Amino acid sequence: MAHGSILYITLGCAKNEVDTDRMRALLNGAGYDEVFSAEDADAVIINTCSFLASATSESIETTLTLAEEISEGVRGTRIVMCGCVPSRYGSELPDELPEVAAFVRTDEEDGIVSVMDEVLGVERVDPPFIPSVKRTVESAVAYVKISDGCDRYCSFCAIPYIRGRYHSRSAESILSEVRDLVAGGVREIVLIGQDTGIWGTDFKDEVDGPTNLAQLMIAVAEAVRPEHVWIRVLYLQPEGMTDELIAAIRDTPEVLPYIDIPVQHCNARVLKAMHRSGSAEQLSDLFAKLRAEIPAMVIRTTSLVGFPGETDDEAAEMLAFMDREGFDYTSVFPYSQEEGTFAAKMDGQVDEDVKLERTQAAMDLAEALGFAATAAHVGEVAEVIVDGIEETDEGPELIGHAWFQAPDSDGAVHLEVTDAAVGDILQVKFTDSFCYELVGEVVEE
């Protein structure tokens, strides 16, 4: 007998999606049902984001909007707020948000069954069943967190204050999860963390098996065989790109030649003020090495615009760097004065109008480079994973993504509907492009 019905709402990044998956699996195993509308739910779990002030505002607004909708009904649905907002502002929230029945920090989420039992008044005779497979992934792609927290303390970033110090998951738990996901039909494993490149460096005791990211990626590749599965890694800081890691990407067929390296800036003075290291020359040397070692390498990066003290010349230097490097994908963010961070107190806060002007210039360049990189694939034949079917004005079409497109980030491939199912890997010839999207046709094998 079900103990209650739960609607899950996830805001923010893929790491939050993973956390929601885990809570859902724990609650499913404990006898709770999942529903897909608030009017059918006994409780709603909102997994929040607080990376930026705008994300915090969205999380609060979503919660208040939901509370207003619930107040108009008769079911008495309860709201439970999880994730980054409770981690960052926990002590302040009960007074500020009386509409919420419980607050659960990121480091408390494994106890979600007890929280929901208390919120919904469930009394158990026996302890809840804890499933061995702690994910409920129904798509072709699964994000796998290999670490959490961060030790970098970049001056603009609140993540260390939200998720705590860096800690690696054990290789054994990662590989076990990967095997379960692949057995369940997942065809792409995306390894994520706040700083994936330093995975394993915090292991205090001697351990069997992989102790760095390169070794872990090879072990993941071995774990998915003989299934045809892609492996992608995201959020690698420049310092994490070791020769061993480059070789592992180059020499392991399952690992895609796709790297996400958030540089944030190229000017050495700005990087130092950000509490980061490097320079334009060092970054260019790294990208040249990557492209020389792995000619098909696709590179995604991030540009943080309008950091305190950034001059017009330094902003122009970053634009020139982006143009020179010709990144395939660049996410552009205006600097946000985040409460509790070192940079929030710095002199030289950039005027909002100037910041927005610089942001627009960076976005225009990023799009020009990205659209050109996407169009360059027209005429190629490559593998595409089918992600689902989308209804359009012209009728239904298959939506998928190619190896050079990170899911949920880099655009998609549009195909005529065939008898292909989600998770199928098709050979596709790309016939046209628009913005970051590609149109293709299935090639008969």
What are the structure tokens assigned to 372, written together? 């050109």
Q: 381-392 and 329-334: which strand pairing?
A: unpaired
Closest by CA position to 62, among listed 82, 76, 42:
82
Sign (positive or negative) of CA dihedral 88, 92, 93, 94: positive
Closest by CA position to 25, among listed 112, 153, 139, 127:
112
Closest by CA position to 231, among listed 223, 220, 240, 242:
220
Q: Name residue 7's beta-bridge partners.
A: 44
Check the annotation: does 84 bind a ligand: yes
Check the annotation: does 154 bind a ligand: yes
What are the structure tokens assigned to 51, written together? 């990376």
Q: Contact at 8 Å (CB) between 151 and 397? A: no
Q: Contact at 8 Å (CB) between 398 and 426? A: no
The H helix count followed by the E strand count for the chain is 13, 18
Check the annotation: does 157 bind a ligand: yes
What are the structure tokens assigned to 401, written together? 């993504």
- The 3-class secondary structure across 89-147, one letter per residue, is HHHHHHHHCCCCCEEEEHHHHHHHHHHHHHHHCCCCCCCCCCCCCCCCCCCCEEEEECE
Amino acid, res. 409: S
Query: How far is residue 334's CA from residue 324's CA, in Å, rounded to a whole number?
Result: 21
Q: Contact at 8 Å (CB) between 404 and 380? A: no
Binding residues: 13, 49, 84, 150, 154, 157
Binding residues for [4Fe-4S] cluster: 13, 49, 84, 150, 154, 157
